[in-house]
């Protein structure tokens, strides 16, 4: 998908899209962490749904898949998946030349 975007867009347009996606990853990760800390699985599910859509639209399948799991998971399951989610986010961000989560989101608030 990124290769197709590179072919279809000017470099600055693609950079804008990827920067917006990186900001979305950071924002949604913050929302997920806050939702988990508050015990608000509804908010966690909505944040995961939004990030899943953006990830899949850009061909980031692994991120989309874990977000799909988050959408239907309970709080304990989301907490258990958090380290994998963070690693996937960091890998996606690194592939785009962006700073990873490592860790803007306080991972201690999502530990069981």
Provide the residue ranges of all domains of the chain, joining segments of one domain with +: 2-110
Give the pLDDT score at 102: 53
Q: What whole-number percentage of the chain has pLDDT above 70?
A: 80
pLDDT above 70 for 111: no
CB atoms within 10 A of CB 37: 12
For residue range 15-55, what is the model confidence (pLDDT) as tens digits?
Answer: 888 899 999 999 999 999 899 889 999 999 999 999 999 99
3-state SS class at 81: helix
pLDDT above 70 for 7: no
pLDDT above 60 for 108: no
pLDDT above 60 for 104: no
Q: How far apart are CA 86 and CA 90, in angstroms?
A: 6
pTM of this structure = 0.81
Q: How far apart are CA 39 and CA 27, in angstroms?
A: 18
Give the pLDDT score at 79: 86
For residue range 45-65, what is the model confidence (pLDDT) as tens digits?
Answer: 999 999 999 999 999 999 999
């Amino acid at each position: 998908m990124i290769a197709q975007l590179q072919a279809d867009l000017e470099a600055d347009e693609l950079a804008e899209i990827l920067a917006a996606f990186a900001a979305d990853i950071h924002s949604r990760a913050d929302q997920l962490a806050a939702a988990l800390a508050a015990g608000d699985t509804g908010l966690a599910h909505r944040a995961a749904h939004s990030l899943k859509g953006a990830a899949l639209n850009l061909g980031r399948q692994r991120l989309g898949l874990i977000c799909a799991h988050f959408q239907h998971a309970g709080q304990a399951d989301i907490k258990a998946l958090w380290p994998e989610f963070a690693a996937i986010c960091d890998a996606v961000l690194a592939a785009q030349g962006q700073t990873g989560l490592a860790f803007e989101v306080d991972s201690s608030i999502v530990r069981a």
